[in-house]
Structure 1
Amino acid sequence: MSPSGSQPLTPRQPPSIDAWGGGGFRVSGVWRPGSLLIIDDQPLDWGATSLADLTPEAFAPVYAAGGAVEFVLLGVGLANALPPRPVRDALKAAGLGLEFMSTEAAARTYNVLASEGRRLAAALIAV
């Protein structure tokens, strides 16, 4: 039980990104085709297909998560590139930090940060 006498606290069990490439991701042993969003430890299908087509609206589930997210870790595709200004501005206006890198680097970084208990949203464009 927790110190207050209520139910025991359940430790977070964030999903792990085990593999990427071939147009999708293996998340905790399950293949997920297409781009991926992980918010509040929940993997979700994400409609983003390229950095060039990314819009602030693509992050609606992140905005809706509120305090469950400290910052967005954005995997931008095969090579690191600057996300479109409207996306950067919208995330900043929502009070969210943004880190961006290649999808491969973002998948590895997500695993480390999630294991440390960080509250992040991973937004990964499939490669």
Structure 2
Amino acid sequence: MTSSETASTASMQTTDHDGVLVAVISGELDMVSVDAVGTALFDHVGKDPAGLVVELAVDFMGSSALSMLLELYGRAQREGVGFAIVANQVAAVRPMMASALSQVLPVCQSVDEAFTLIQKQQGPGQQPVS
């Protein structure tokens, strides 16, 4: 096999829902692909959206992805950006449970649940997320 045949890939699609960005990540989120995905996600947080939902529709997720998500959550908190992760596929849920990050990160089962969580994070007097 050549290196191009074994190279992992991850892709990300984003949509805007009334100021809350939903980023759906698919493919393999590992040490090869995490830098590009992480850079894009950090850029989105830097643009001060009402919130960011990261939906993990991945086939594989390595420890480097867990580190990136933890750092991203910290940055979102510091910048006052609502944040939630949607993880309901085994490839995303297992590593988060094994590392106990599912108890630290705001993990939801659906995008609707993530919107509700972000709305609670924003507190009273903020624009509702729909």
State TM-score, norm by structure 1. 0.39
Higher-RCO chain (CA-CA 8 Å, sequence separation at least 6): 1
Q: Is the helix fraction higher in 1 or 2?
A: 2
State TM-score, norm by structure 2. 0.38
